[in-house]
Amino acid sequence: MKLALVTFFSAVTLACAADVPITQDELVRRTQELYDAIVPGNQAPWKKYFADDCIFADEKGRILDKPKLIADIAPLPSGYSGTIKIVNAQSRIIGNTAILSYDADETETIFGQNLKARYHVTDTWLQRDGNWHIIASQAHRYYEDPAMGKADPKKFAYYIGTYELAPGQTRSVSAEGDRLFVERNGKKEELLPETSEIFFRKGVEGRILFRYAGAGKVDALIDRRNNEDVIWRKAK
């Protein structure tokens, strides 16, 4: 009889250990603990909450296992500080799997100058042996327009004209006072200056540059996308 009771209670204990519920609030709390540990380089929460067999894909495109991830957690250099706050969290918790998807708002201070960045992260938590650990994490950085520079309207005359990618594929550049525009297929967008000769379009990743020929005249518009160039040659 005693043996039967021991077996029964052991089974109950194992069942309870294998089914420990978790809430979104707890997931957010643990995740915020991870981010709060970054500035001082505290590796303890990262060792605690990431599974030994985890996959971590960061916003730089790196794929890290747990040893590499932990080694990447180090104190910020002198003169650097910052915070990362979790916002807009959503979760799906089903059985022994929990997915937490959230924005991470970062403020970094570098010798008194403040920088901001926004990331979106999705973590997959898995419960094993009564413990919840992150088994996979993936992050990307939201695109943000660059800081505005100052254009030189005196150079606009060099940029104005029609540019051709292929027969029948053209785009035109025009100016209105001290503002520069590009138009294709009836869609007109302002070219905002990053510098006097490098431009961007609001909400569009990439840059527009103008290439000068040997004679000092613009002979092409360069549409730079992810560090690769699409060249539109000046037709007129």
Has residue 7 got a pLDDT over 70?
A: no
pLDDT, tens digit (0-9, with 9 covering 90-100), for 83-138: 999 999 999 999 999 999 999 999 999 999 999 999 999 999 999 999 999 999 99
CATH number assigned to the domain comprising residue 216? 2.40.128
pLDDT of residue 19: 73
Q: Is the domain of 133 the same as that of 92? A: yes
pLDDT of residue 2: 47
Q: Where a domain ends, among 111, 141, 171?
A: 141
Position 190 confidence tier, pLDDT thresholds 50, 70, 90: very high
**Domain region containing 16:** 11-141
pLDDT, tens digit (0-9, with 9 covering 90-100), for 31-45: 999 999 999 999 999
Q: Is the domain of 104 the same as that of 171? A: no
Higher model confidence: residue 123 or residue 14? Answer: 123
From its phi and psi, is residue 123 left (phi > 0), alpha (psi between -120 and 50) or beta? beta
pLDDT, tens digit (0-9, with 9 covering 90-100), for 124-133: 999 999 999 9
Q: Where a domain ends, among 141, 176, 208?
A: 141
| Number of CB atoms found within 10 A of residue 42's CB | 15
Alpha-carbon distance of 46 to 137, in angstroms, equals 12
Alpha-carbon distance of 31 to 60, in angstroms, equals 20
pLDDT, tens digit (0-9, with 9 covering 90-100), for 194-219: 998 899 999 999 999 999 987 778 99
Q: Is the domain of 50 the same as that of 96? A: yes
Q: Is residue 6 part of a domain?
A: no
Q: Is the domain of 22 the same as that of 132? A: yes
Has residue 4 got a pLDDT over 70?
A: no
pLDDT, tens digit (0-9, with 9 covering 90-100), for 138-174: 999 998 899 999 999 999 999 999 999 999 899 999 9
pLDDT, tens digit (0-9, with 9 covering 90-100), for 41-89: 999 999 999 999 999 999 999 999 999 999 999 999 999 999 999 999 9
3-state SS, one letter per residue, for 141-167: ECCCCCCCCCCCHHHHHHHCEEEEEEC
pLDDT of residue 214: 77
- How many structural domains does the chain have? 2
One-character DSSP codes across the chain? -HHHHHHHHHHHHHHHHT-----HHHHHHHHHHHHHTTTTT--HHHHHHEEEEEEEE-TTS-EE-HHHHHHH--PPPTTEEEEEEEEEEEEEEETTEEEEEEEEEEEEEETTEEEEEEEEEEEEEEEETTEEEEEEEEEEEPP-PPPP----GGGHHHH-EEEEEETTEEEEEEEETTEEEEEETTEEEEEEESSSSEEEETTEEEEEEEEE-TTSSEEEEEEEETTEEEEEEE--
Alpha-carbon distance of 195 to 147, in angstroms, equals 9
Higher model confidence: residue 185 or residue 37? Answer: 37
pLDDT of residue 18: 55
